[in-house]
Amino acid sequence: MRGLIATVFRKEMKDHLRDRRSVLTSLVTGMTGPLLTLVLFSLIASWTRQDKVLEVPVIGREHAPSLMAFLARNGAELKEAPADHESLIRAGKLDLVLVVPQDYGKSFSAGHTADVSLVVDSSRQSARATVQRARRLLEGYSQQVATQRLIARGVAPELARPILVEDLDLSTPERAAALMLNMVPLFLMIMAFTGGLQVASDTMAGERERGSLEPLLLNPASRGDIVLGKWLATVSFAMASTLVTLGVFALVVRQLPLEDVGVKARFDGPAILSMAVAILPLAFGASALQMWVSTYARSFKEAQTYLSLLVMLPTLPGALISMSPIQAKAWMFAVPALGQGLLAGEVMRGESLGPVPFLVAIVSNIALALVALAATQRLLSQERIIFGRS
Amino acid sequence: MIRAANLHKRFGPVTAVEDVSFTAEDGMITGLLGPNGAGKTTTLRMLYTLVRPDKGSASVDGVDVVTRPAEARRALGVLPDARGLYPRLTAREHARYFGELHGLSGAALDKRVDELVDLLEMKDIADRRAEGFSQGERVKVALARALVHGPRNVLLDEPTNGLDVMSTRAVRTLLRRLKDEGRCVVFSSHVMQEVAALCERVVVVAHGRVVADGTPDSLRASTGKDSLEEAFVTVIGSEQGLVQ
C-alpha cells in the first residue's frame, strides 16, 4: 500500500473504530439475521416434530369412556382441562381443549350424532399441528364407530363413503424452513452494504458537512490516494460486518435441527469458507458505489437516506433467488450482487462450481469499484462539491 | 513569495474575481482587505489551487498553481474558510494526520507537533477529542494542521472571524512570528483595525478588482485621508460592508 493511501486508511479506521455507537449498531445488525433464522427455524421445527406427545385436556371425560380409551390407545395424553382454559387458549398457552357434553352418552347410545367440541384458536400457527392431530384422531374414532355400526346392520361401510380424500400436501413446514436457509446469502449481501454504510456516509458527505474536506484537499496527497484510503476503510468495515454475520450463521446453523425438518444444506468449514469467498468481493463494489453516491450528499443524514435506498439493490436479486432458485447462467456471475447470491446458494446446496465463477464475480466487482472510485475522484475536483456546504 | 497576475474567475453569470494582481513578499504580512463579496475568498482559493482561474496565473515560490498544484500545496500552509475538525480525533492527531499527508513521520513529526502545541498554547487541549471545542480552540487546531509542515508561505482566510479578544490576540502574535521567521503571510479581512494593526502591505479588493495596493501610509497619502478607514472608503467608492 502506498504511503499516503495507508495514512488516510489508518486515520479513517481509527476515527470510525472510535465511533462506538455505530460499530455496535453494525455488530447487532449483523447478528439479527442469523438469530432471526435460528428462532424461526426452531419454532417451525418444534411445531412439526411428530414425536411430541399429544396432550388433550378434556372436560367431561366421564361422559365418553370409550372415546377416551380410543384416544389414550392412540398416544394422546388425557388430562383435566383447567377452569380458565378459554383465556389460556386465547393467550396461546394451551393448544386445545376437548369438551364432551353431558348428553353425549345418551345421543351416542341412541345412535344419533353425538356432539363434542374442540375449543381452539385458529389464528394460532403454533397450535395448528396439535389441533390437526387431535381432529384426525377424533375423526378416526368417528369413522371406526360408523364402520362398526354399518357392519352390525349388514351394510358395507364403503357405501357410506363414496369418496375418500387423501391429502398430499406439498407445502409443508419443512419447505418453509428450507426457504429460511435460502435467506442466508441475502442477509450476507445486505451486510456487505450496511457494514460500510456509516463509513461511506461519514468519509464523504460527513467530510463535506463538517467543512473538513477543503482542508483535507489542501494537502499534497492526490485525490486518488485520498479516495482509495477511504475506500479501503469502508471495505474493511463492510467485510468485517459480513464476516461477523457469516460467523454467527455458522454457529447458529449447528444449533438448527436441520434433520428434524429434512433440510439438506452444507455448512461445514469449507462451505463457510467458499461462502466468504463468494460474498466478500461484493464489498469492493458496494463500498465504492456508496462513496460515490455519498459524495453527492451535502450532509451525513442526506447520505444515509440515499445509501439506505441503495441497500435495496442487492435485495432484489437476492430475494428473487431465495424465493425461487433460478438456473444459473454464466453471465449472471458477472452481475454484482446477483452473482454473489447465486454463488452462495450453490455452495449451500453443496454444488461444486470450480474457481471460474468465483473469479468472474471478483473481477466484476473490482471493475464496478474502479468505475465508482474514478467517478468519486472526479467529483472531488469539482468546486461545487469542495465548497458546496449546507 | 506569492504572485497573482490578472486572476479572473466567473461562476455562471456571476463574476467573482474580475482582475486581481499583487505580489506578497517573504518576511511580510500582506493584508487582502475588502468588503464581503469583493472576491477575497475566491482569490485565495485560486492561490491555494482548489479553484482554477479562468484567466490569469499565480505562483507560489515560482511554482505555477495551475500546472503544478501538488507542488504549490507543499509550499503553502492554508487556513481556509472551512475549518471543520474530526470530532473523534484529538487536537494532536489532527496535526499528525496532516503532517503525515505532507510526508512527515516518526520523531521529526512528533517534534514538530510538540512545537506547534507550544507555539499555539494548546497544551490543555492537545490530547482531548475535538468534539465540543470552542471556536478559538478549533482555529488553533486548524492552524496547527495548516502549519505542521513548516510552509514558507501562509494563506489565511479571515483568520480572526468569530474569535474572542484573547484568541484574536493569539492569532496576531502567531502571524507576526511567522513574519519574523521570514515567511510570506497573506491574510484576508474585512476588518479595518485588523489590517491596520498587522500589515506592512495592504491590497484593497472591491468588486473583484484591486483598487489600491501599498503600505497603510502610502494609501493614506494617495487618498489624502488621515485615517485608513476613510482612505478605504474612498478607494472602494462606497461605505458598503465596512466593519469597525
The rounded distance, in Å, linking the Cα atoms of B14 and B54 is 13
| Mean pLDDT of the A148-169 span | 78
Distance of CA B23 to the CA centre of its chain: 14
Of the pLDDT bands very low, low, confident and very high (cuts 50, 70, 90), residue A173 is low
- What is the set of domains in chain A, with CATH numbers? 3-45+173-387 (no CATH), 50-160 (3.40.1710.10)
The rounded distance, in Å, linking the Cα atoms of A204 and A288 is 11
DSSP string, B114-177: HHHHHHTT-TTTTTSBSTT--HHHHHHHHHHHHHTT--SEEEEESTTTT--HHHHHHHHHHHHH
CB contact under 8 A, B89 and A215: no
CB contact under 8 A, A218 and B50: yes
Per-residue pLDDT tens digits for A326-378: 677 788 888 888 889 888 888 887 777 888 999 999 999 999 999 999 999 99
Residue of B nearest to A381 (CA): B50
Of the pLDDT bands very low, low, confident and very high (cuts 50, 70, 90), residue B16 is very high
The rounded distance, in Å, linking the Cα atoms of A326 and A323 is 9
* Residue A176 pLDDT > 70: no
Contact B109/A at CB under 8 A? no
Residue A96: strand pairing partners: A120
| Mean pLDDT of the A62-90 span | 86
Which residues in B lie closer than 8 A to residue A386 (C-beta atoms)? 50
The mean of the pLDDT values for chain A is: 85
Q: Which of B84, B93, B100 minimises the CB distance to A211? A: B84
- Kindly report which listed range (A308-312, B69-73, B149-153) carries the lowest average pLDDT score: A308-312
Contact B102/A at CB under 8 A? yes
Q: Which of B11, B78, B85 minimises the CB distance to A218? A: B78
Per-residue pLDDT tens digits for A268-310: 888 889 999 999 999 999 999 999 999 999 999 999 999 999 9
Residue of A nearest to B86 (CA): A212
- Kindly report which listed range (A13-17, A25-29, A204-208, A242-246) carries the lowest average pLDDT score: A25-29
What is the model's pTM? 0.80
pLDDT score for A88 = 85
* Residue A325 pLDDT > 70: no
Of the pLDDT bands very low, low, confident and very high (cuts 50, 70, 90), residue B49 is very high
The more confident residue out of A125 and B18 is: B18
- Kindly report which listed range (A44-58, B102-116, B162-176) carries the lowest average pLDDT score: A44-58
Whether B20 contacts B209, CB under 8 Å: yes
- Kindly report which listed range (A96-105, A172-181, B7-16, B204-213) carries the lowest average pLDDT score: A172-181
CA B129 → CA A173, A210, B122, distances in Å?
Answer: 55, 15, 13
pLDDT score for A48 = 63
Which residues in B lie closer than 8 A to residue A16 (C-beta atoms)? 88
Contact B165/A at CB under 8 A? no
Sheet holding A96-99: strands in order across? A76-80, A54-59, A96-99, A117-120
Contacts of A195 (CB under 8 A, 6+ apart): A26, A30, A237, A238, A239, A240, A241, A242, A283
- Kindly report which listed range (A19-23, A41-45, A304-308, B108-112) carries the lowest average pLDDT score: A41-45
Contact B9/A at CB under 8 A? no
pLDDT score for B107 = 94
- How far B135 CA sits from the closest chain A CA (Å)? 14
* Residue B218 pLDDT > 70: yes
pLDDT over 90, % of chain A: 34
* Residue B125 pLDDT > 80: yes
B132: left (phi over 0), alpha (psi -120 to 50) or beta: left
Residue of A nearest to B143 (CA): A215
- Which cell is A83 given? 377452569
pLDDT score for A390 = 45
Per-residue pLDDT tens digits for A372-387: 999 999 999 898 898 8
